[in-house]
Amino acid sequence: MNKPKVLVARSIFPETIARLEEHFEVEANQGDESWTKAQLIAKLKGKQGVFTTGSERIDAEVLDACPGLKICANMAVGYNNFDIDAMTARGVLGTNAPDVLTETTADFGFALLMATARRIAESEHFLRAGKWEKWSFDMFAGSDIHGSTLGIVGMGRIGQGIAKRGAHGFGMKVIYHNRSRLDAQLEAECKATYVGKEELLKTADHVVLVVPYTPASHHTIGAAEIALMKPTATLINIARGGIVDDAALAVALRDKRIAAAGLDVFEGEPKVNPELLKVPNVVLTPHIASATVPTRRAMADLAVDNLIGYLVHNKPVTPLNPTVLATR
């Protein structure tokens, strides 16, 4: 019997390819070529599955051009690169990679918060540039983490992980805003208090964004929201580019409307708004919140489990649009 055909859209661990090859005829991209949409479509024709990393856009045009496609397995928890409605309408399953990256990403959110509030990147650049000639009392004085108020926007698994680190590890007062309120037990575990978005922005010393990107969450933080924040506050975005209006944030940082920001994700990444590159009070990292070797392996494994689960056993592990399963 012919093996199903699978495309791996980006370079990945050799072991991931080897696992896929046990079950599928695999076309890989180990040279990590950047494909245009037309090239992606050409590669996808005749394939039943695709392994994506979160940067490949799968929309109606791609799906219509590749009618044999049955599953798109994202090696990411976020899946705003998928037009999930278009996939569902065409009976194509989408899967993502939740849970396996929660703690690693929460660690990173906390690391970025600390680097930002304590001005670690800025002071390191200063030292490397040979500018450290003498100590002074206010040199790179930042703001405290311990005992301060942490405001989390988006209280899913990663938000909860950050809340626990803040409350239990650093004695922070945790407030959060979310589409829906957590149940009482989860709130108690996170020591977190539900507040409205405006109250959160006005009261928090540190605001961390962990909401999924949807048209409704576009520019959750823009000039008007920044204007509500304390001038001493920090803003951390580990969610998705587009959740923050990066142009408005660059102006606010330049004018010291808020003290500092830490950004792992950007509107239009890998391009970064050039105005952000000009301000010193921002820590910039290239979308690496889940980047530890064990976690990246676990994410790749979960995407493979989904491809095997669906194409071989008809049982995906983490389906995003399970109604597709009923219609198969």
Question: Which residues of the chain form contacts with ligand GLV (CB under 6 A)?
Answer: 54, 76-78, 101, 290
CB nearer to ligand GLV: pick between 220 and 290:
290
- Helix, coil or strand: residue 294: helix
Omega cis (within 30) before 280: no
Round to whole Å and give the CA distance between 50 and 27.
Answer: 10
Among residues 76 and 248, whose Cβ is nearest to ligand GLV? Answer: 76
Closer by beta carbon to ligand GLV, 130 or else 270: 270
Strands 149-153 and 206-209: parallel
Residue 271 CB coordination number (10 Å): 9
In the complex with ligand GLV, which residue's Cβ is closer, 101 or 261?
101
Q: What residues are labeled active site? A: 240, 269, 287
Q: Least distance to ligand GLV from the beta carbon of 179, Å?
A: 18
CB of 112 to ligand GLV, least distance (A): 13
Of the pair 172, 244, the CB lying nearest ligand GLV is at: 244
Per-residue burial over 187-226, b = 16 or more CB atoms within 10 Å of its CB, e = otherwise: beebebeebeeeebbebbbbbbbbbbbeeebeebbbeebb
Smallest separation (angstroms) from ligand GLV to the CB of 78: 3
Cβ 25 to ligand GLV shortest distance, Å: 27
Angle formed at CA 79 by CA 75 and CA 85, multiple of 5 degrees: 130
Q: How far is the CB of 302 from ligand GLV (least distance, A)?
A: 11
Which two three-digit tokens encode residue 143? 């703001």
Q: How many residues does the chain have?
A: 328
b/e map 42-60, b = 16+ CB within 10 Å: ebbeebbbbbbbbebebee
Alpha-helical runs (H) found in the chain: 14-21, 37-44, 60-65, 84-89, 102-117, 120-128, 157-164, 170, 184-190, 197-203, 223-228, 246-254, 274-278, 293-311, 323-326
Closer residue to ligand GLV, CB minimum distance, 56 or 187: 56
Contact 81, 105 (CB under 8 A): no
Give the dihedral of Cα atoms 61, 64, 66, 67; nearest 10 deg: 160
What string of H, E and C letters represents the secondary structure of 91-142?
Answer: CCEEECCCCCCHHHHHHHHHHHHHHHHCCHHHHHHHHHCCCCCCCCCCCCCC
User: Closer CB to ligand GLV, residue 142 or residue 159?
Assistant: 159
Shortest Cβ distance from residue 298 to ligand GLV (Å)? Answer: 11
- In the complex, least distance from residue 84 CB atom to ligand GLV, rounded to whole angstroms: 14
Element (H, E) at 144: none
